[in-house]
Structure 1
Amino acid sequence: MKKSQFDTAPVLSAELGFSVKQVSSVLNLLGDGSTIPFIARYRKEVTGGLDEVQIGAIQ
């Protein structure tokens, strides 16, 4: 995880009401080039079941 993601995850978590782990996982997946639909469909176990709208809010 990049330092900026480490600093951003707790802030986004508090603002959006998701866990820090969920936000960090989404930021990492997006940083690796994964798309929102891919994350929502195939990485539910990593994101704690976040849907496309929730992932988009993190992005």
Structure 2
Amino acid sequence: MNTPRRPPTQGEAVSVAVAASGLAGHEVSPGARDLLDRIGRGVLTYDGAVAEVIAEFGQPAR
């Protein structure tokens, strides 16, 4: 019998993404973890996160 799967929670999705990055040999910075945490708690939108990254690092090259 197949049990319907529920979608992952925000926390689970972030944990999987961070683990996958680690397995690929990359490290997720504390700043990126903070952005993901604030998005997950609903205190920061995706657009707000993009604005913060652009403010810190500048506009992407076109």
Give the TM-score, by structure 1 length. 0.38
Q: Which of structures 1 and 2 has the larger relative contact order (alpha carbons within 8 angstroms, sep 6+)?
A: 1
Higher helix share: 1
Bigger Rg, which one: 2
